[in-house]
Amino acid sequence: MNDMRLLQRTQGMNDIKIQANGVDVFYADNHAIKDVSVEIEDKTVTAFIGPSGCGKSTFLRCLNRMNDTIDICKVTGDILLDGEDIYDPKVDPVQLRAKVGMVFQKPNPFPKSIYDNVAYGPRIHGLAKNKAELDEIIEKSLRRGAIWDEVKDRLKQPGTGLSGGQQQRLCIARAIATEPEVLLMDEPCSALDPIATAQVEELIDELKQNYSVVIVTHSMQQAARVSQKTAFFHLGSLVEYGETGKIFTNPEDSRTESYITGRIG
Amino acid sequence: MSEASTNNPAHAPKTSLLASDARTKRRETAEKRFRMYGIAAIAVGLFFLIVLAVTIVRSGLPAFTSAVVDIEFTLTEVQFDEAEGTVFKTKAYQGFFNAALAERLQAADFDVAFDEKAIERLLGKTGGTIREFFRANPDKLGEPVSFELPASSRVDGYFKGRVTRDTLVDSRFLQVSDLDIVDAMVDAGVIKTVFNWNFVTGADTGVDNPGGAGIGASVIGSFFMMLVVLVLSLPIGVAASIYLEEFAPQNRFTDLIEVNISNLAAVPSIVFGILGLAVFIQFMHLPQSAPLVGGLVLTLMTLPTIIISTRASLKAVPPSIREAALGVGASKMQTVFHHVLPLAMPGILTGTIIGLAQALGETAPLLLIGMVGFVARGYPDGVVSGFLDPNSAMPAQIYTWAARADAGFYEKAWGGIIILLLFLLAMNILAIILRRRFERRW
Ligand SMILES: Nc1ncnc2c1ncn2[C@@H]1O[C@H](COP(=O)(O)OP(=O)(O)O)[C@@H](O)[C@H]1O
Ligand SMILES: [Mg+2]
């Protein structure tokens, strides 16, 4: 890790995209997230790090209400997207998820063609008026997903026939296609080899120009490489949150330091 | 230090990979024994399967053939007018036919006493058939016409080895001396065995006429019944499964429903039969013996099978697919109908067809609601009558035949089994084809 470079990575303050205030999450009796408050900036990559089972995924899934699909999961506290409470009863989680896209740990393309994979979101949200527009969205999304050149000649072939890294980039392109404002990624590289990981990381770096990206990772190197902000979770609590450079070089909390230096994890 | 060194591979006694030690030998024998058990089990299974298949084919094939008297016969216009002028018209036709038959046999050096009563025993009353033919086709008068008249069931049995000279007891149906005439007819080439289309297309007959019995009418009965089952159980079953699996909240009530559905699948079919009798016939006053009612009863029986298999296939769709769809902003409903259901389709179809095949072979509940074999006396007049008129179904027809005294019916029962199995085979092949078609392994 190049400490000097990390320190130089200064941030112009961006707008707050997501604001979480006193969020608690329970899986039945299991108190998985304890009073977490965090401000996630627009056009920034925010990394969630922490030991396995500390609640990174759980918190991430609160941000697009994916936890709603788990019956036993209860979320309390406020989460505001552009100042609007996403847990307000008037909010349709489906609409929310179109705005807050998600990429999962294991690449999960639909068992359909590459084209249909990307086209699915725009189709159900009515983003394209005709075939030409849809084609355009698909090309744009695949380009942004940094996979266009590899698949442009085989759009009609199944998405599941791609390699793991390609599949994950296809999933990112699929998430981008619905024009989200926030992109949530839950360990997007953990099933990928180093080369594919490098490609996806490069992609994430580009995505931050347009989106607010939140990435969960268990690799501290990855957090250091791609993120501007880092949040360290431990046993369901947010221990420390700040500039990535600062967290990795000069953490305030001793638990953060222990984790970074490999003593807990 | 010395203890540690025993664990050090460098100090362990050298063993050769080429010589297997006692442990390995024991494991290998155990594995070999297990393989032998498996092979033996499969061999026993195969043996019984073959015995079953051979028995069915051997006992059932005779039902598909029948002995007929094939004779060329010319009726002149004079004879026609003469016969139509008499009081016992069919009797007159029978006379002309017998004369023709006698002539034909004499031409073939026939030297057995020819007796009109005996011919009646062998062929039944032939006059009616002949009269009907010539009244319908008067232009055929004066030219030779080839008639194929079915021999009586006992003569048929004589050909198939069911009736022998030793076992035959003289009766009004057949006498030993009649068999001489049969033998002579065989020598003269008048009698022969042909494919019995009537068995495939015909209807059930009275208990004393096994020769004329056919399974066609009850095939139609089964068809209309299965139509009811398919139209009701597939949509209801799939809708119920989707709701229970994807939308229903997990609570005591849905747990109770779940347990009850599993239990329903194990309820004996005769219970559904008596339930159908009580509810559909006695309470709702639907017609007795109607394929509609049979279909309703079998629907009740098939639903649990379809629901269980549909839920299993819905469950088998990987959660990552649901997450993917929800993640791009699909609603629960869209997720289920766009992604989960298509992936579960092969399983659903297989389950449905297996459920339908079970229903097709079900007998007991049909007997309780009156769809017994002997009501299958003819084809329905149309679609409505196909659902509402008394009819039987294949397995009930087979059961009825098997219960009848005349050995001729026994053969029909086996023949019916062959037809039933052909339908089941066809359904299973359909299930495989549909599975292949919908199963997209990408
Ligand atoms: N679907 C679930 N049902 C019940 N408990 C869960 C579920 N998902 C996660 N948990 C629990 O919540 C806690 C946090 O898990 P998670 O958010 O997956 O951690 P991380 O992603 O940081 O490894 C763990 O104790 C885990 O057992
Ligand atoms: Mg996780």
What confidence tens digit (pLDDT) does each residue in B196-227 have? 888 999 888 888 788 888 999 999 999 999 99
Ligand nearest to the CA of A105: 2
pLDDT(B442) > 80:
no
pLDDT(B2) > 70:
no
Q: Could you report the per-residue pLDDT of A23-52, keeping only the tens digit for each?
A: 999 999 999 999 999 999 999 999 999 999
Per DSSP bridges, beta strands B191-195 and B65-74 are antiparallel
Query: What does the pLDDT average to over B304-321?
Result: 93
Q: What is the per-residue pLDDT for B9?
A: 60
pLDDT(B400) > 80:
yes
Query: Which residues on chain B are in Cβ contact (under 8 Å) with A158?
Result: 440, 442
Closest partner CB to A71 (pick from B250, B322, B329): B250
- The residue whose CA has the least distance to atom 9 of ligand 1 is A58
pLDDT(A177) > 90:
yes
Mutate to test the interface with A, among B247, B320, B328, B441 (most CBs of A within 10 A): B328
- The residue whose CA has the least distance to atom 21 of ligand 1 is A57
pLDDT(B392) > 80:
yes
* Residue scoring higher pLDDT (A7 or A164): A164
Q: Could you report the per-residue pLDDT of A200-242, keeping only the tens digit for each?
A: 899 899 889 988 999 999 888 899 999 999 999 999 999 999 9
* pLDDT mean across residues, chain B: 87
Quote the CA–CA distance of B203 and B373 in Å, as a whole number: 10
Q: What is the per-residue pLDDT for B441?
A: 56
* Residue scoring higher pLDDT (A85 or B131): A85
Distance of residue A9 Cα from the nearest chain B Cα, in angstroms: 32
pLDDT(B97) > 50:
yes
Q: What is the per-residue pLDDT for A114?
A: 95
Quote the CA–CA distance of A265 and A242 in Å, as a whole number: 20
Quote the CA–CA distance of B398 and A224 in Å, as a whole number: 78
Percent of the residues in chain A that have a pLDDT greater than 70, as a whole number:
94
Residue B174 and residue B121 in contact, taking contact as beta carbons nearer than 8 Å: yes
Quote the CA–CA distance of B389 and B292 in Å, as a whole number: 9
Identify the three-state secondary structure at position A85: strand
pLDDT(B297) > 80:
yes
Look at the pTM and tell me if it is higher than 0.90: no
ipTM comes to 0.87
Nearest-10 Cα torsion for A49, A54, A60, A61:
160
In B, residues 306-325, which contact A (CB 8 Å cutoff)?
Answer: 318, 320-325
Q: What is the per-residue pLDDT for A7?
A: 47
The Å distance, Cα A140 to ligand 2 centre, comes to 30
* Residue scoring higher pLDDT (B323 or B7): B323
CA distances from B281 to A140, B37, B276, B290, B368 (A): 65, 51, 7, 10, 11
Q: Could you report the per-residue pLDDT of A143-171, keeping only the tens digit for each?
A: 988 899 999 999 999 999 999 889 999 99
pLDDT(A3) > 60:
no
Q: What is the per-residue pLDDT for A36?
A: 95
pLDDT(B55) > 50:
yes
pLDDT(A193) > 90:
no
Q: What is the per-residue pLDDT for A5?
A: 52
Quote the CA–CA distance of A31 and B163 in Å, as a whole number: 85
pLDDT(B268) > 70:
yes
Closest partner CB to A124 (pick from B323, B327, B330): B330
The full DSSP string for B286-331 is PPTT-HHHHHHHHHHHHHHHHHHHHHHHHHHS-HHHHHHHHHTT--
Q: Is A54 in the pocket of ligand 1 (CB under 6 A)?
A: yes
pLDDT(A105) > 80:
yes
Domains in chain A (CATH in brackets) are: 43-57+90-260 (3.40.50.300)
* pLDDT mean across residues, chain A: 90
Band the pLDDT of A12: cuts 50, 70, 90. Answer: low
User: Which of B237, B74, B31, B58 has the alpha carbon at shortest distance from B161?
Assistant: B58
Q: What is the per-residue pLDDT for B169?
A: 80
pLDDT(B132) > 80:
yes
Mutate to test the interface with B, among A120, A156, A160 (most CBs of B within 10 A): A120
- Contacts of residue A38, defined as CB under 8 A and 6 or more positions apart, other chains included, come to A18, A19, A20, A231, A238, A241
pLDDT(A133) > 50:
yes
How many A×B Cβ pairs under 8 Å?
A: 73
CATH number for the B216-438 domain, one of 3.40.50.720, 3.40.605.10, 1.10.3720.10, 3.30.70.360?
1.10.3720.10
Query: What does the pLDDT average to over B167-179?
Result: 81
Distance of residue B160 Cα from the nearest chain A Cα, in angstroms: 59
Band the pLDDT of B357: cuts 50, 70, 90. Answer: very high
pLDDT(B157) > 60:
yes
Query: What does the pLDDT average to over B365-386?
Result: 87
Query: Which residues on chain A are in Cβ contact (under 8 Å) with B324?
Result: 104, 108-110, 171, 174
pLDDT(B133) > 60:
yes
Quote the CA–CA distance of A2 and B248 in Å, as a whole number: 53
